[in-house]
Amino acid sequence: MIRCKGDVLYTGITTDVTRRFGEHQAGKGAKFLRGKAPLELVYSQEVGNQSQALKLEFWLKKQPKLSKEKMIQQGLPVDIQTRLMQ
């Protein structure tokens, strides 16, 4: 997750977090983040495969901001198996 201007959280998936975050900072990649600097990488989690990553991203995007902030603050990984079964 990336925090951007206005304290907005952006969620996405990638195979290389460092590279992708650099692209976002350079104004490339997601249109949503363009012009919303400063950007701060606040949370990342490795998952098993692209299918799981997409499902987790979908689940995260549905969560209220307070839940995401708590997850960021605690730095705890999401239990993917439990979330995918819901």
Question: What are the tens digits of pLDDT across the range 18-38?
Answer: 999 999 999 988 899 999 999
For the cut 70, the answer to whether the pLDDT of residue 61 exceeds it is: yes
Domain membership of residue 10 as a residue range: 2-85
Averaged pLDDT of the chain = 89
**Residues 2, 34 contacting (CB under 8 angstroms):** no
Total domains present in the chain = 1
Whole-prediction pTM: 0.88
For the cut 60, the answer to whether the pLDDT of residue 54 exceeds it is: yes
Alpha helices in 26-79 (DSSP H): 50-62, 65-74
| Percent with pLDDT over 90 in the chain | 67
**Residues 5, 38 contacting (CB under 8 angstroms):** yes
CA 70, 2, 78: angle at the middle one, nearest 5?
A: 45
Mean pLDDT of 43-69: 92
